[in-house]
Amino acid sequence: MAKPNEPLVTHIYTADPSAHVFEGKIYIYPSHDLDHEKQSNDNGDQYDMEDYHVLSLEDTDAPCVDHGEALHLRDIPWAKQQLWAPDAAYKNETYYLFFPARDQNDVFRIGVATSASPAGPFTPEPDYIPGSFSIDPAVLVDDDNNAYMYFGGLWGGQLEKWQTGEFLPDAEGPDPSAPALGPRVAKLSDDMLTFAEPPKEISIVDEEGSPIAASDEDRRYFEGPWVHKHNGNYYLSYSTGSTHYIVYAMSDKPEGPYVYKGKILTPVIGWTTHHSIVQFKEKWYLFYHDSSLSGGADNKRSVKYTELKYNEDGTIQTIDPYGN
C-alpha cells in the first residue's frame, strides 16, 4: 500500500516523478534509476538510465502498480544515452511522453513518444523535436487547450551552452551578479509533436521586479521545472540544484514573468531534488524523490508523495519531507 513519505515502489529505483490524473487514477512518469556504481560528477554521468516504467495509483493509499517497461533507449533512433526526467500529457485522444536524452553528438535533446494508453507502451517519433535542447520537459495543457513545454537544466543539463541560441560546448553560465538563466518555454503545435514557436526564456523576478541573480543559489533556477494552475494562477516550481530546494514563483500568464514566492520542499537525502504537483479528489499532492532507500546513493532514488497545502492567500506551505 502506498503511504505518504515512503517509496512508492521498492523493487526498482525511480526518480523525477511527473504525476497526472488520467482516467480517474494518478499516473506517475518517473525516471528509472539503474543499480550501477558509476562515479558521480557535475556532468551527471552517474544518471545513466535506459528505459521508463509507468506507475499508477488507484488512490493515494492503494498499492502502486508498475506497468512495466513503457519505452526503451534501443527503440529511440536518435537517442544515444541517458533517459532523464520525463513528463506526459493528454490531448487529441492520445497520451504523449516527452523525454530528454543525449543525441549521437552527446547533446541533450527532447523527444516525444505516443500511446493510446496512459500506461504505454509508447512509440517514439523517429527524431527529436526540432529546435529542442537541454533537459527536464514538463508540459502544461492549459484550460484553453494550448499546450506549453517548460524545460532546461544547468550543468549536466547543458542550458549554459545554449545562451546564444546555438550549442557552444565551452560556454559558461552568466556572471554571478547578472540575472540567472531562466527555464525555457515553448508553445507546442496542435499535434504536440513540434514547437509552434521558438523557445523563450522565462524571467523569474523578486517581489520588487528585479531578476533573481545567478549568485542567488537559494532562489535561482537550476532544473526540474513544473507548472500547475491553482485558482487561476500559474505556479512555476523548480529545483535550486546546488542548494537542494524545491521553490516556486507565481504569474497570471503561462509564459511569465514569474514572481519568486518561497520554498516548497526542504532538502532531501541525495544531491538531486525533483518534483511534480497534482490535484486528486480535492486534495493537492507533491510527488518527489529521495535517496533514503539506497542509503544515500545520488543515482539510486525513490519516488514518494506527500500532501501539499495552500495558505488562504494562495501561497504554498513549506514541506519538510522528514517532519522535522
Active-site annotation, residues:
16, 223
**74 phi and psi angles, rounded to 5 deg:** -60, -20
Please report how close the Cβ of residue 228 comes to ligand FUB at its closest, in angstroms.
17
Q: Whose Cβ is closer to ligand FUB: residue 154's or residue 259's?
A: 154
Please report how close the Cβ of residue 23 comes to ligand FUB at its closest, in angstroms.
27
Asked if 141 and 89 count as a contact pair (C-beta separation under 8 A), the reply is yes
Q: How many residues bind ligand FUB (CB under 6 A)?
A: 13
Residues 50-69 that bind ligand FUB (CB under 6 A): none
- Judged by CB under 6 A, does residue 79 bind ligand FUB? no
C-alpha cell at 234: 500559474
| Angle ∠(201,203,206) on CA atoms, nearest 5 | 165
Q: Whose Cβ is closer to ligand FUB: residue 31's or residue 56's?
A: 31
Please report how close the Cβ of residue 28 comes to ligand FUB at its closest, in angstroms.
14
* Contact pick of 17, 19, 20, 31 for ligand FUB (by CB under 6 A): 31
Please report how close the Cβ of residue 52 comes to ligand FUB at its closest, in angstroms.
11
Q: Whose Cβ is closer to ligand FUB: residue 121's or residue 224's?
A: 224
Please report how close the Cβ of residue 170 comes to ligand FUB at its closest, in angstroms.
22
Residues 147-176 that bind ligand FUB (CB under 6 A): 153
* Contact pick of 27, 84, 245, 305 for ligand FUB (by CB under 6 A): 84
Give me the 251-280 binding string for ligand FUB, x by CB under 6 A, dash otherwise. Answer: ---------------------x-x------
Please report how close the Cβ of residue 195 comes to ligand FUB at its closest, in angstroms.
20
* Contact pick of 16, 103, 201, 290 for ligand FUB (by CB under 6 A): 16
Residues 121-140 that bind ligand FUB (CB under 6 A): 135-136
* Contact pick of 9, 85, 249, 265 for ligand FUB (by CB under 6 A): 85
- Judged by CB under 6 A, does residue 47 bind ligand FUB? yes
Q: Do β-strands 258-265 and 204-205 pair in parallel, antiparallel, or remain unpaired?
A: parallel
Residues in touch with ligand FUB (CB under 6 A): 15-16, 31, 47, 84-85, 135-136, 153, 223-224, 272, 274
